[in-house]
């Protein structure tokens, strides 16, 4: 199955649902940076990263809104990486979707496409 075909079949998020908004993404980024601060112990380094992320995020706000408005926020896999894809009957098959967490699953389709480093 091609990923684009999978995404084409998925429902689109209504802009009023709150998924894929700059506000939702900012909350996720804040939570991630907070966890990074606790884990790294180097607040100065995390603050530098946070500053760069904030600057880039502000620049991307119009693109985030446009992608939501144009239907690119959908009920996706939400956790797609090579450990969650099987080769079955000659085709790639995604599995292990985040069906239990709509906040992680309803996301921009590019989140399923973007490369993720993973070590099992």
Question: What is the rounded CA–CA span in Å between residue 43 and residue 37?
Answer: 6
In-domain check, residue 120: no
Q: Kindly report which listed range (19-28, 34-43, 108-117) carries the lowest average pLDDT score.
A: 108-117
Residues of the domain holding 92: 3-113
In-domain check, residue 119: no
How does pLDDT run across 76-116, given as a tens digit for each residue? Answer: 887 777 788 888 898 877 777 777 778 888 989 988 776 55
In-domain check, residue 49: yes
pTM (2 decimals)? Answer: 0.77
> Does the pLDDT of residue 117 top 90, yes or no?
no
CA 21 to chain centroid: 12
In the chain, the number of structural domains is: 1
Strands (E), 1-120: 73-75, 85-88, 91-94, 106-108
Phi, psi values for residue 12, rounded to 5°: -90, 145
Pick from 24, 97, 109: which is nearest to 73 by CA? 109
């Amino acid at each position: 199955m091609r990923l684009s075909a999978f995404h084409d079949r998925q429902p689109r998020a209504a802009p009023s649902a709150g998924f894929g908004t700059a506000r939702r993404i900012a909350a996720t980024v804040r939570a991630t940076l907070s966890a990074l601060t606790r884990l790294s112990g180097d607040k100065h380094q995390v603050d530098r990263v946070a500053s760069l992320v904030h600057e880039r995020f502000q620049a991307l706000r119009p693109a985030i809104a446009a992608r939501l408005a144009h239907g690119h926020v959908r009920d996706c896999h939400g956790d797609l990486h090579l450990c969650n894809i099987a080769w079955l009957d000659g085709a790639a098959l995604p599995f292990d979707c985040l069906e239990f967490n709509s906040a992680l699953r309803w996301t921009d389709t590019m989140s399923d496409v973007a490369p993720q480093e993973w070590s099992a």
